[in-house]
C-alpha cells in the first residue's frame, strides 16, 4: 500500500533545504509510521533529489514525523532549473512510498 493511505504531508522549503512532515491520519498509527518511515527510506525514495543528508524528527504528540532534506533543491528554489522540485512536489512523491499493510495485530 502507499503511505498516502495512512498519512498526509505538509511541506516547506528554504534555500537548498526541503522539509516534509508526514502526519498519521489516525493518531493510533503513529508507532507504525515511526517504524516504517525512516530517514534512510525517505532518502532512498527521494534519491533523485540528490539530498546529501536526511534528518528525522519525531513528534509523537502530533502523530507526525518531520524530515529535513539537506541539499534536495538543486541549489534552492530560486536558483534551480528544475520544474517544481520544491516542497509540495516532494511531499506528494513521498506519499507514494510503498509501506506494509497494518495488520490486525498492530491495531
pLDDT for res 92: 84
pLDDT for res 63: 97
**CATH of region 3-94:** 3.30.1360
Whole-angstrom distance, CA of residue 82 vs CA of residue 41: 23
Q: Is the pTM of this model over 0.75?
A: yes
Chain-centroid distance of CA 72 in Å reads 12
pLDDT for res 51: 92
pLDDT profile of the chain (107 residues), mean per 10 = 96 88 96 97 94 97 97 70 61 88 63
pLDDT for res 12: 87
Whole-angstrom distance, CA of residue 106 vs CA of residue 93: 26
Q: Which of 41, 37, 1, 9 is nearest to 25 (CA)?
A: 9
Angle at 106 between CA 54 and CA 41, to 5 degrees: 15
Count of all residues that appear for the chain in the document: 107
- Domain boundaries of the chain, sorted by first residue: 3-94
E strand or H helix at 77, and its extent? none
Amino acid at each position: 500500500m502507499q503511505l498516502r493511505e495512512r498519512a498526509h504531508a505538509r511541506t516547506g522549503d528554504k534555500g537548498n533545504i526541503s522539509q516534509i512532515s508526514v502526519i498519521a491520519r489516525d493518531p493510533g498509527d503513529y508507532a507504525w509510521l515511526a517504524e516504517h518511515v525512516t530517514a534512510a527510506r525517505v532518502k532512498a525514495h527521494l534519491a533523485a533529489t540528490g539530498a546529501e543528508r536526511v534528518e528525522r524528527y519525531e513528534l509523537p504528540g502530533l502523530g507526525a514525523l518531520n524530515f529535513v532534506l539537506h541539499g534536495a533543491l538543486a541549489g534552492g528554489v530560486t536558483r534551480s532549473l528544475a520544474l517544481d522540485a520544491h516542497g509540495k512536489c516532494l511531499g506528494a512523491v513521498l506519499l507514494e512510498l510503498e509501506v506494509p499493510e497494518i495488520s490486525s495485530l498492530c491495531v
